[in-house]
Amino acid sequence: MRCITAASTFACAGRSMSGLRPRAGRSWCRRAPTIEGARTYYADVKARVSRHGRDPDDVKIMPGFFVTVGRTTDEAREKFETLQGLIHPKAGLLLLSNFLAMDMSAYDVDGPVPELPPSKVRSSRASLMVDLARRENLTIRALYTRIAGGRGHYQIAGTPGEIADQLEEWFTTGAADGFNIMPPVLPQGLAEFVALVIPELQRRGLFRTAYEGTTLRQSLGLKWPVNRHVAARRRPNAAE
């Protein structure tokens, strides 16, 4: 079946930088554990898009946000800590080993994260994990506990207002065009986000109250693509 927009809208992982060249509209989903890192990445991708002759607004940067919402800050933190307490050590260690592409079972889980071979450090995901451990002086156990839920994405637990504050800061200061919301549990976590956080974002004028179109492209605010063959025929001297 032919796409009604004549060109597909693609969602890409943040490490897939080779996808910047195609003309199709794209949304970029990427781990961004800090707002400073997110701003740097955002500016870099937009600049790359511009250098390839495309409108930077044709690519939407949408980092993942692991969100635990409560009606009070204490309630949200209690929910988060309860879920963190369910992480089985073997599962956490296996997950970290997979993320780093290196077997971590031979190391003391209460010791520092070891240096990775250069080939591993060049991996974007591994680099983010190691940088996080170094920045916050995390042990192996603390690191796998940190990433087991949010998979290395930004984590926040708070009230609807507190969560909206951070979403607004990222959105308005050049860190994100939107967000990949990651509830801690489904469907309850998503239902709570929709019921509690979305109304606050709408009150601030940061989230739509109705959908303007029926396609993903329209919902992302991407322009309708122009068929390159039609555009070529319309250019002056196209027949010469």
- Summarize pLDDT for 95-142 with one digit per residue, the tens: 999 888 889 988 999 999 998 877 654 566 787 788 889 989 999 999
Mean pLDDT across 25-48: 79
- Summarize pLDDT for 138-169 with one digit per residue, the tens: 999 999 998 888 877 889 999 999 999 999 99
Q: What is the pLDDT of residue 74?
A: 97
Find which of 25-29, 222-226, 234-238 is predicted with most confidence, using mean pLDDT.
222-226
Least confident of 1-10, 40-49, 188-197, 212-221: 1-10
In a domain, 7, yes or no: no
Q: What is the pTM of this model?
A: 0.79
Q: Please give the mean pLDDT across all residues of the chain.
A: 84
Distance CA 214, CA 230 (A): 24
In a domain, 34, yes or no: no
In a domain, 232, yes or no: no
Dihedral, CA of residue 50, residue 181, residue 40 and residue 45, to nearest 10: -20
Instruction: Indicate whether 5 pLDDT > 60.
Output: no
Q: Are 65 and 179 in contact (CB under 8 A)?
A: yes
Q: What is the pLDDT of residue 236?
A: 65
Q: Tell the burial category of 1 from Cβ atoms under 10 Å away from its Cβ (0-12, 13-18, 19+).
A: exposed
pLDDT band for 204, please (50, 70, 90 cuts): very high
Instruction: Indicate whether 56 pLDDT > 50.
Output: yes
In a domain, 167, yes or no: no
Tokens of 237: 């001297």
- Summarize pLDDT for 9-34 with one digit per residue, the tens: 777 765 555 545 544 445 555 667 78
Tokens 């709570």, located at residue: 192
Instruction: Indicate whether 67 pLDDT > 50.
Output: yes
Number of domains making up the chain:
1
In a domain, 55, yes or no: no
Q: Which residues pair with 28 in a beta bridge?
A: 12, 61
Q: Which domain holds residue 143?
A: 85-154
In a domain, 109, yes or no: yes
In a domain, 187, yes or no: no
- Amino acid in position 231: A
In a domain, 113, yes or no: yes
Q: What is the DSSP string of 141-182?
A: HHHHHHHHHHTTSEEEEE-HHHHHHHHHHHHHTTS-SS-EEE
Number of Cβ within a 10 Å radius of residue 69: 24
Mean pLDDT across 71-81: 96
- Percent of the chain beyond pLDDT 70? 80
